[in-house]
Amino acid sequence: MVENNLSPVSITSNLRTHFVGQRVIYYPSLTSTMAMAKQEAQLGAVEGTVVIADEQTAGRGRIKRVWLSPKGSIALSIILYPSVVNLPSLIMLASLAVVHSIEAVTGLRSQVKWPNDVLVNDGKVCGILIESSVRGNIVDYAIIGIGLNVNLKLSDFPEIQSMATSLSAELGRDVSRLKMVRRLLVEVEGLYLALQAGGSIYEEWRDSLVTLGRKVRVKSGETVYEGIAESVARDGSLLLRHPGGNLSKIVAGDATLRE
């Protein structure tokens, strides 16, 4: 039987971080950890505060999509107060932290689909949502939301079965959510401290992208781009080469990999 208890004490005891995950707010069930983390951040929660739920009833995805997070998955949000220069790197930081943690806990190799979906064997295993409040050069707060399909039987969720996967489905056995959460918090803090110290995580993020060199379709707002994903810029945007030779810089969007 794997350890699945996500109580604050089980997460925080002997956790090897300075601040990320040292305060944990846990709910058996919650609408969305993002909504609760936002309230906490507005009240001035200490940096690294984590809001975590066993299940969400109104999980939020990117581009106003719904995020399914039933029991067995991980749904958590981390409150940070980064400088404005490090804000664009949070996307990279979060996806790399997930890639590192999956590998450390399960041995599975994962890749990032631009901008920040994590895939195992081409199936989406994790979605990441970053929400922030910025005024001029001041970041009031940033919240990293991570939804990880840990112990999900995909056949129970036909609506996502064709594009999603879970760690248990890949491994054929259940995985400890507790181990995964604790590792994630350590990885997030390590990368965040590296960023604050002036380090770069861009190169590793770029090299972990499954998207580059592939034919892609990218929806950005109402615009749809098609072409080859040539590269990514240091600010995280995608450089897409059109069939006619022109290059587009796409700051945000949703990419579909073509054949």
Cβ neighbours around 163 below 10 Å, total:
12
Residue 254 burial class via C-beta count within 10 angstroms: exposed 0-12, middle 13-18, buried 19 and up: middle
Burial 223-246 (b: 16+ CB within 10 A, else e): eebebbbebbeeebbbbbeeeeee
Binding characters for ligand BTN, 139-178, by CB under 6 A (x = yes): ------xxx-------------------------------
Binding characters for ligand BTN, 44-83, by CB under 6 A (x = yes): ------------x--xxxx--x-x-x-----xxx------
C-beta closer to ligand BTN: residue 30 or 186: 30
Q: What are phi and psi of 110, to 5 degrees?
A: -130, 165
Among 24, 80, 112, 129, binds ligand BTN (CB under 6 A): 129
Residue 147 burial class via C-beta count within 10 angstroms: exposed 0-12, middle 13-18, buried 19 and up: buried
Q: Total binding residues for ligand BTN by CB under 6 A?
A: 21
Cα distances (Å, whole numbers) of residue 245 to 226, 227, 250: 12, 9, 16
Structure token pair of residue 230 = 């040539």
Q: Least distance (Å) from ligand BTN to the CB of residue 56? A: 6
According to the binding rule CB under 6 A, does residue 33 interact with ligand BTN? yes
Instruction: Please give the residue whose beta carbon sits closest to ligand BTN in the complex.
Output: 127
C-beta closer to ligand BTN: residue 194 or 254: 254
Q: Is 79 helix (H, G, I), strand (E, B) or coil?
A: strand
Q: Least distance (Å) from ligand BTN to the CB of residue 121? A: 18
Q: Which residues are at the interface with ligand BTN (CB under 6 A)?
A: 32-34, 56, 59-62, 65, 67, 69, 75-77, 117, 127-129, 145-147
